[in-house]
Amino acid sequence: MLLRAVRGDITRADVDVVVNAANPGLLGGGGVDGAIHAAGGPDVLAECRALKAGLPGGRLPRGQAVATTAGRLPARWVVHTAGPIWSADEDRSAVLRSCYTESLRVADGLGARSVAFPAISAGVYGWPLEDAAVQAVAGVRAAAVQHVQEVRFVLFDDRALAAFEAAL
Ligand code: ADP
């Protein structure tokens, strides 16, 4: 797997799979989640609703991942994963790494060759950026894949890009 970091808007990424930093409720939200649903259109949300109906309590456990098609995005699929909320008292980094490992497992199962990730949990969920980048790279490297050849971290600003470049 080739890993690289670029600056950009993930909704425009030309890849097979875009990973969404969703929340357990799966029905959209702010940040990258809102941007992906706005750009992907109503089909993505409809598929999320259907997936949600099949989940215990209607919630996707943090650290797990599910796939929908990508609607109007250039990508073929969106893999939705719910990151952990940062805690200074509890080490939740295994859950954050799992978001990356599980998303890649799901993407690989679809036959994806290229996957774009945002900086999961580094926005509203408050994870310190430098460590979010370290956990992201570790989570990706822990994945065993057959099809995925490229993982692209698509970062929204220069600070995030610098953190991921340092982690790589
Ligand atoms: P979380 O709730 O997991 O913290 P957020 O969406 O709040 O997720 O933020 C995750 C990261 O995604 C932040 O670094 C934010 O700047 C970034 N982000 C927001 N919109 C986009 C986008 N369109 N493309 C790529 N990254 C984005």
168 residues of the chain, pLDDT tens digit each: 999 999 999 999 999 999 999 999 999 999 999 999 999 999 999 999 999 999 999 999 999 999 999 999 999 999 999 999 999 999 999 999 999 999 999 999 999 999 999 999 999 999 999 999 999 999 999 999 999 999 999 999 999 999 999 999
Answer yes or no: is the C-beta of 167 below 6 A from any ligand 1 atom: no
Q: Kindly provide the residue ranges of all beta strands, DSSP E only, lying in the chain, ordered along the sequence.
A: 2-7, 17-22, 65-69, 77-82, 114-117, 150-155
Contacts of 60 (CB under 8 A, 6+ apart): 22, 24, 25, 26, 51, 52, 66, 80, 81, 82
Catalytic one among 9, 14, 16, 33?
A: 33
Residue 152 exposure: Cα atoms within 13 Å on the Cβ side: 22
Answer yes or no: is the C-beta of 81 below 6 A from any ligand 1 atom: no
Tell me what ipTM this predicted complex has.
0.97
- Nearest atom in ligand 1 to the alpha carbon of residue 35 is 23
- Nearest atom in ligand 1 to the alpha carbon of residue 157 is 16
pTM of the model: 0.98
Concerning whether 33 is annotated as a catalytic residue, the answer is yes
Each as own residue / partner, the long-range contacts of residues 61-64 (CB below 8 Å, 24 or more positions apart, any chain) are 61/24, 62/24, 62/95, 62/99, 63/94, 63/95, 63/96, 63/98, 63/99, 63/102, 64/98, 64/102
User: How much distance in Å is there from the Cα of 53 to the middle of ligand 1?
Assistant: 26
Residue 92 confidence (pLDDT) = 98
Residue 45 exposure: Cα atoms within 13 Å on the Cβ side: 13
